[in-house]
Structure 1
Amino acid sequence: MALLIYVDDILVEGTDSHQITKLKQFLDKTFKIKNLGHLNYFLGLEVYRTSEGLNLCQRKYALEILEENGFLDAKPAQTPITARKKLTSLEGTLLDKPEQYRRLIGKLLYLTNTRPYISYAVQQLSQFVDKPRNTHLMAAHRILRYIKGSPGKGLFYPACSQIKMQGFSDSDRATCSVTRKSITGYCIYLGQSLISWKTKKQVTVSRSSSEAEYRALASTVCEIQ
């Protein structure tokens, strides 16, 4: 049995329903808790159960981001980022209200909990939160238009799946035009369920694409272990 606690919200999961019931009775006797039943909504995460499996999404949270930034009626984009677009810290003009950009990027980072396919785009934009420019904000708006096309997308965990662990890694050499550092990307599957993923700038500069690939592979192996 495991408990996930955030301030005064608690999730309980386990394989013994009797033990879970005893725990809830103990917590209610000690703290007077409110039992909301099976998990449906938790910290912006929406959970839907069917006989086929479990679906996680952040539809309500995504729609709130779109509404806050005025993109509910925007034209959807097919991709979260423009292909081969290289953002820099010097191109464009500084924003008058950088806090709005920082707040947007922070919310998009939380949205990657169920939408890993925007991780790379958000990772790129998060590098410019100190001095954001209009070009960075335009790129962030493209992510919003991409989300507009499918606000309810998320992750699906099938009820029946082969217990086989698989890892996939990739790298983008010298992505950063300033530091010449490469990007590591990986995703880990347990059966058909995506359980871990990351997009992150590598710590050191790779001298070749092969070296960048090996660094990405090493990070993936460490995550699997």
Structure 2
Amino acid sequence: MAFLHGDLHEDVYMKLPKGLQYSNPKLVCKLTRSLYGLKQVLAGNDLDEIQAVKIFLDDKFKIKDLGILKFFIGMEVARNKTSIALYQRKYALDLITDCGLLGAKPASTPMEYTTSLSMDSGSPLPDATMYRRLVGRLLYLTNTIPDLSYLVGCLSQFMDSPTDAHLTAAYRILRYLKQSPATGLFFSSNNSFTLSGYTDSDWGACKDTRKFISGYCFFLGNTLISWKSKKQATVLRSFSEAEYRVLANGTCELIWLLKLLKEFDIHPPLPVDIFCDNNSTIYIASSPVFHERTKHVEVDCHVVRNKFKEEISNLRHIVSSD
């Protein structure tokens, strides 16, 4: 994403690198895009060790220490003794300004939940370049604003032939951001190490293909640390099957998170609660019998059930807000 927005506003010239030659040796290269150096972030709880690493790297590569992290590839970091906030306020405001919506009325939600988009919604745009660029920039915002993941994923399906209805939906996201551009992730030092997860699916949500959309998120204490929203590649015959496949994906993510936290010497209490709003899905996971109606999801059953039996995960029912 950095190279898409790295236009230079001044004349910069460079020598040709080794191995690259032109037929005319008098030619000079003029850059039209910025060249980005390698930027790395050091994190840890041992300042002496961090300083030793910086000295070693500087001896080998001649690095420049920019001090405490405040801004990194479009993300802003605010911190004090008890917490860290990660957000993209400047990036969001620049995006809103570039689209001419700085004076637009803010929206209370990122999308209109009473309507759904399809390939036939609205009239085709005469030039799809602006839409594609806008959605690409919105994708980067999902790194710190998880509630945009579902809608931006939906808008990404119409890159080949976007319509004015799709563009209006993208603009609504910008009006939603306008009311609170500094929305982001918050990490507290007083947080607990209790891990919990939530899974859900939107069965047959895609009006064009009737494929289902899956989603899950995991919290460490009160802090969101992992989330995903994705349209799956298959069409399923039942709502329970869709819910179960999402639960299996969430269980795999849980296994990965536990391994990652173990590398940081963090050991969340087990079993980890995974919340689901479908009782039949929980019954399938806890039942030792495979039925005729569940044999097509047998592999997913084993994934979820084994972790349930090993007391790594604990399935709990949650009432849907729908």
Q: TM-score, normalised by structure 1?
A: 0.94
Partner of 1:3: none
Q: How big is each residue's C-alpha offset from its partner over 1:5-64, in whole Å with a ceiling of 9 and x where there is no partner?
A: x85111111232212111111222222211111110000110011223110000000001
Give the whole-Å Cα distance in 1 for the aligned partners of 2:191 and 2:45. 18
Identity percentage of aligned residues = 50
Give structure 1 stretches of 5+ with no counterpart: 1-5
Partner of 2:262: none
Give the whole-Å Cα distance in 1 for the aligned partners of 2:247 and 2:113. 24
User: Which residue, out of 205, 217, 239, partners 1:209?
Assistant: 239
Give the whole-Å Cα distance in 2 for the aligned partners of 1:51 and 1:26. 28
SS in 1 for 2:42: strand
| Mapped contact 2:213–2:229 kept (Cα < 8 A) | yes
Partner of 1:9: 39
Give structure 2 stretches of 5+ with no counterpart: 1-35, 256-322
> Is residue 2:67 matched to residue 1:28?
no
- Report 1 or 2 for greater relative contact order, CA contacts < 8 Å, sequence distance ≥ 6: 1
Amino acid at match of 1:80: P
Partner of 2:114: 84
Aligned residues: 220
User: Which residue, out of 138, 145, 156, partners 1:108?
Assistant: 138
Partner of 1:41: 71
| Mapped contact 2:43–2:50 kept (Cα < 8 A) | yes
Give the whole-Å Cα distance in 2 for the aligned partners of 1:42 and 1:18. 23
Larger CA deviation: 22-31 vs 186-195: 22-31
SS in 2 for 1:136: helix
> Is residue 2:198 matched to residue 1:168?
yes
Q: How big is each residue's C-alpha offset from its partner over 1:195-214, in whole Å with a ceiling of 9 and x where there is no partner?
A: 11011012211211111111
Q: What's the C-alpha RMSD, in Å, of the aligned pairs?
A: 1.2
Partner of 2:265: none
Amino acid at match of 1:188: F
Partner of 2:90: 60
| Mapped contact 2:121–2:166 kept (Cα < 8 A) | no
Alignment of 1:123-142 (within 5 A): 123-142=153-172
Alignment of 1:180-191 (within 5 A): 180-191=210-221
Amino acid at match of 2:65: N
Higher Cα Rg, which structure: 2
Q: List, as ranges, runs of 4+ consecutive aligned residues in structure 1 with deviation greater than 3 Å.
A: none
Amino acid at match of 2:47: S
